[in-house]
Amino acid sequence: MSFPGQRPMHGDTVTITIDSTAVTITGTITSQGVLREGRGFVELTLPDADPQQRRDLEWAKHFQYELYRGGRLLYSSPPLRLSGTHRTGDGALVVTGSP
């Protein structure tokens, strides 16, 4: 699948692979491509997850994910280099990466 565009994709489940570990997170999940300073990034917005999963994501250097809605695969990312993480006002975790 191609890199996501600027139109957000909304899913209910995401499987994130960090090194050899895969975690599945459910809830309201958004994936969106963004352009900053001429470079493409993907922002993955996750519900406030288990604290250990959150730390694993915040400390990761690389990750890959698959976004699902109703059991149907919406997007499978290429391997991404973690560019940053931050929290939204409602506590959601935003993970930013680039190919």
Residue 76 sits in which domain range? 9-98
* Cα 54 from Cα 35, distance rounded (Å): 25
pLDDT tens digit sequence for 23-60: 899 999 999 998 888 788 999 999 876 677 777 777 88
pLDDT digits (tens, 9 = 90+) for 51-85: 777 777 778 899 999 999 999 999 999 999 999 88
Question: What pLDDT score was predicted for residue 69?
Answer: 96
Closest among 48, 46, 79, 81 to 64, alpha carbons compared: 79
**CATH number of the structural domain spanning residue 64:** 2.30.110.10
Our count of domains for the chain comes to 1
pTM: 0.86
pLDDT of residue 70: 97
pLDDT of residue 59: 84
Q: Please report whether residue 4 resides in a domain.
A: no
